[in-house]
Structures are given as structure tokens and as C-alpha cells.
Amino acid sequence: MSMRTHILRLIALWLCGAALSHAADKPNILVIVSDDQGYADAGFQGSKQSVTPHLDALAKSGVRCTSGYVTFPVCSPSRAGMLTGRHQSRFGHENNPVYDPLDEKEGLPLTEKLLPQFLKDAGYRTGWIGKWHLGSAPAFVPWARGFDESFGFIGGGHRFTGWQPNGRQYTLPLIRGGKDISDVPTHLTTAFGEEAAGFIRRNKEKPWMLYLPFNAPHTPHEPSAERLEKFSQIENPQRRRYLAQISLLDDAIGVVTAALSETGQRERTLIFFFSDNGGHTPSGSDNNPLRAMKGTLYEGGVRVPFLVSWPAKLPVGATFDQPVSSIDVFATALAVAGVAMPADRKYDSVNIVPHLSGEVKTPPHERLMWRMSKKQSFAIREGKWKLVRNGDGAPELFDVESDVAESKNVAADNADIADRMIAALEAWNKELIEPVFPGSSVKNEDWGPGGANQKNAPNKKPGNKE
């Protein structure tokens, strides 16, 4: 070997080592989303019925955000806002897309670049495991939107056990790597946890981003028999099944966090956990002490259990009371990955790490705002004040710091505050656009198999026109 060749090899090895060292400096990013989880339904939220030791441990390892919100009170728009860093009504994603692999309009608009696409460009390995619900035509599916690895289902819901794979949304074949698989796991929640742990182990030598949206505890509630037996003391059968589903979800999350610890990645992994929207109380969830539920802009629809953990950078066992939002995942992830926020359009996301760490004392957001139901319902939170306007009804104003249950409308006594907040909503609404696909209405939201949002697509595969 010539001296020149030897030197070139040494330089190549040094550059490789430098690249690996730089990659190791970038934290992993894990976003865990539950589906329709009630505000009270976790031990760290004070529940005496929901058994969640793994989520409770996650809360103790990081920051519990007591005013954690999502951008919409139903599934798909909430997820669209989180993955884009933009309020979903800025690009017309204000409905749940109907499942139809041949419909090229029903899905997260292609005008938007998603978080995994930015992180992939920055050298991250990206994965999606779980529920998608952001469009089923070929252009909308996860492997077309920046995810290197994929496992889950494309529609808005799914059976948990014992289904026969077919073309119906809740019994679709699972997908791995963009292709249908025939496997039917013993329990879907457990399968998602094990798949996520495998992703973590496979990619331990490089920075990664994993989006892990479970479909538990969304209906249909199909817990295992042994888990259901553990909640036999609960008299209400719907509540009993729901709590068993929560327990299985918690175990799956425990499998994921154990894989992080076993592979030495826990300290350098930034974890978000929250529900995609408020609980659906007729299905067994508990939103106490909040008002109302999923599908409304009261606190029970948009305020959710919310955790952020990053042992290397954030406080342990802390609480943070200022409002934060699931939309903040986007800017936070880009910031910790060393990626500049794009400047080509309006973004609503904020890097919340400096706020959670105490480095920045001001609130992350001056205000949070919501719009739904074809512009008929609006809400805004500004400091301690929350204003809700439903259709042609008079605006309601609440002090949600002293009245988290939104039980006392104080608009008449604070007309100046209500007027200011209404003016802010009206100005913001002018920045938004009309919905770009009809989707399924909130009133007809699919709570389970046979729901209104289950358009048949026989013999059609998600992401494949053939």
C-alpha cells in the first residue's frame, strides 16, 4: 500500500468517525400518541382506576404539561397540525379523510412538507408505526411522506384482535414497508410496542425519529381476557374494557422505553406523549375535571394528558403550567436536530425546550386558537382566559386557571376581554382557508366498526391503485 493510499484511508476513517460523533450528538425523537384517551385516564393525572406504571415513570423522568393542548378535537386534523407545525386550517385539513385508496383529494395536502421529511434530509432514520389516518391514496401514505420504515394501518381505526383481513377499514391487512402482510397479531397494541422496540434496537448507531401513534384506547375495545379480568371490579362494562385497553397501551409503552434503556439510548432520546384529542366519554373515558369531550372545543375536547421527557436536557419530575401544544413537536424536533425552521410560509410551532428547562420564562404562546365545523365553532386561549363561540351562540368566556371545568361564563363581566379575544380570532380566521376535501363530518365521526367514515374499497390496497 502506498503512503498516499494509507493517508487517504486514515482521512476517510477520521471523517467517518467525526460523522458518527456528530450523529451521536443529535438526540433521537420519539413521538407517542394515544387515541381518544381521557384527560384523567393515567396515574400521573391522578387516576385511581387507570393503571399506568410505565407512563407514570415517564412523567417522573421529565415534565408533565398541565395545560397541554392539541390543535383539533378529532383525529386526523390534530395529527396534520402536529406533523406540519402549521395549524391545519391554514392548508384546509379540517376534516377526517374518508378511507378510499383511489381518492386523491382525501388526505393531508401535498403542499405541506412533513416533519420526517425535514429530519430525513438531516440524516435521521425515520419510522412510522401505528395509525395513519392522513389519506390512503398513493401520494398520501407514510412511505411517500418521509418515513423510511413503516408498520401499521392506513385508515382511521382498526380491530385489535381476531380479524379476517379484507378491504374494510377496520379489518384491513397491516402494512410493513409499504406492502400488505397477512399476519394478524395476538393483540395490535402489543404488536405496535414490539415493532417500535425493534426499530429502536435496529437503529441504535444513528439518530432516528419514530412516530408511534397507537389506536388504543379508541374503540372497538378488544382487550385480552387476562387484562380484562384485572379490572373485574369495575362495574361499568364499557369502562372496564376501556381501562383494560389503557393498561395494554401502557405495557406497550413500557416495552418501548425498556428498549431505549437496554440499548443505552434513553438519555439522548426526546420523548413526547399526548392523546390526539380528548376522550370520548360514551366509550368509557374520563375527562374529569374538564368540560365535554372529543368533538368539542371545550377543554374536554382539546386539553389532553401531555408529557415531555429528555433526561439529558430537561428537568426530572417537573410540571409546566403554561399552555403548550402538540403542534410544538415540529419546531422542537427541528431545533434539537439542528435544523433551521423553514421560512417559506407561516408556522405556528414553537421550540418548547427552553421554556420547559426554565431557560426562557415567558410563555411559549401568546395565544392558542381553534376552528372547526366549517367555521361554525371557534375557541381561543390567552393567558388564563378561554373564549368559546359555537355557531350563532353568544361567546362564552372562562377563567380556566380558576375554573378548569368551564362552569362559569364570565363574558358579561369582562366584555373588553371578550371583545379583544374575538377580534384576535377574526383576524386569525382571515389567514385560514376553506377545507380542501369533504371528509367525514365530526357529527358522523367513526367511533368503531361500521361507523360513517368507513367507505368500502373492496380489493383496493392502501397506497396502490392496482
| CATH code, domain with 381 | 3.30.1120.10
The verdict on 91 and 186 lying in the same domain is yes
**DSSP output for 344-401:** SS-------HHHHTTS--S-S-S-EEEEETTTTEEEEEETTEEEEEETTSPPEEEETT
Using one digit for the tens of pLDDT, what is the confidence trace for 209-255? 999 999 999 999 999 999 999 999 999 999 999 999 999 999 999 99
Task: Confirm whether 9 is domain-assigned.
Answer: no
Strand 306-309 relative to strand 269-275: parallel, antiparallel, unpaired? Answer: antiparallel
Reading the block at residue 79, the C-alpha cell is 395529527
Q: Is there a contact between 432 and 376 (Cβ–Cβ < 8 Å)?
A: no
The β-bridge partners of 380 are 369, 387
Task: Confirm whether 107 is domain-assigned.
Answer: yes
Annotated catalytic residue 16: no
Cis-peptide, bond into residue 323, ω within 30° of zero: no
The verdict on 128 and 273 lying in the same domain is yes
Per-residue confidence (pLDDT) for residue 2, from 0 to 100: 54
Per-residue confidence (pLDDT) for residue 156, from 0 to 100: 96
Residue 172 identity:
L
Task: Confirm whether 418 is domain-assigned.
Answer: yes
- Match 434513553 to its residue by C-alpha cell: 266
Per-residue confidence (pLDDT) for residue 458, from 0 to 100: 36
The verdict on 316 and 413 lying in the same domain is no
For the chain, how many structural domains are there in total? 2
Task: Confirm whether 361 is domain-assigned.
Answer: yes
Per-residue confidence (pLDDT) for residue 466, from 0 to 100: 26
Task: Confirm whether 439 is domain-assigned.
Answer: yes
User: Pick the catalytic residue: 87, 133, 158, 280?
Assistant: 133
Cis-peptide, bond into residue 220, ω within 30° of zero: yes
Q: Can you give the residue range of the structural domain that contains 388?
A: 375-429
Q: What span, in angstroms and rounded, lies between the C-alpha atoms of 302 and 447?
A: 17
Q: What span, in angstroms and rounded, lies between the C-alpha atoms of 390 and 385?
A: 17
Annotated catalytic residue 133: yes
SS3 179: strand
Reading the block at residue 196, the C-alpha cell is 417500535
The verdict on 326 and 405 lying in the same domain is no
Per-residue confidence (pLDDT) for residue 24, from 0 to 100: 57
The verdict on 362 and 420 lying in the same domain is no
Per-residue confidence (pLDDT) for residue 441, from 0 to 100: 55
Per-residue confidence (pLDDT) for residue 94, from 0 to 100: 96
Task: Confirm whether 289 is domain-assigned.
Answer: yes
Closest CA to 381 of 139, 70, 110, 80: 70
| Cβ neighbours of 456 (radius 10 Å) | 11
The verdict on 121 and 265 lying in the same domain is yes
User: Pick the catalytic residue: 54, 65, 75, 280?
Assistant: 75
Structure letter (DSSP) for residue 181: -
Is the four-CA dihedral 104, 455, 164, 279 of positive or negative sign? positive
Q: Is there a contact between 435 and 95 (Cβ–Cβ < 8 Å)?
A: yes
Task: Confirm whether 13 is domain-assigned.
Answer: no
Is the four-CA dihedral 455, 457, 461, 465 of positive or negative sign? negative
The b/e string for 237-273 (b: 16+ C-beta within 10 A; e otherwise) is eebbbbbbbbbbbbbbbbbbbebbeebebbebbbbbb
The verdict on 90 and 239 lying in the same domain is yes
The CATH number assigned to the domain holding 93 equals 3.40.720.10
Task: Confirm whether 451 is domain-assigned.
Answer: no
The verdict on 273 and 387 lying in the same domain is no
Could you say which residues of the chain have pLDDT below 50? Answer: 5-8, 10-22, 442-466
The verdict on 363 and 380 lying in the same domain is no
86-89 contacts: CB < 8 A, separation 24 or more?
86/112, 86/327, 86/345, 86/346, 86/347, 86/348, 86/349, 87/327, 87/348, 87/369, 87/432, 89/371, 89/432, 89/433, 89/435
The verdict on 146 and 293 lying in the same domain is yes
What are the CA-CA distances from residue 89 to residues 94, 97, 162 (Å)? 6, 14, 38
The verdict on 354 and 424 lying in the same domain is no
The verdict on 392 and 258 lying in the same domain is no
pTM for this predicted structure: 0.91
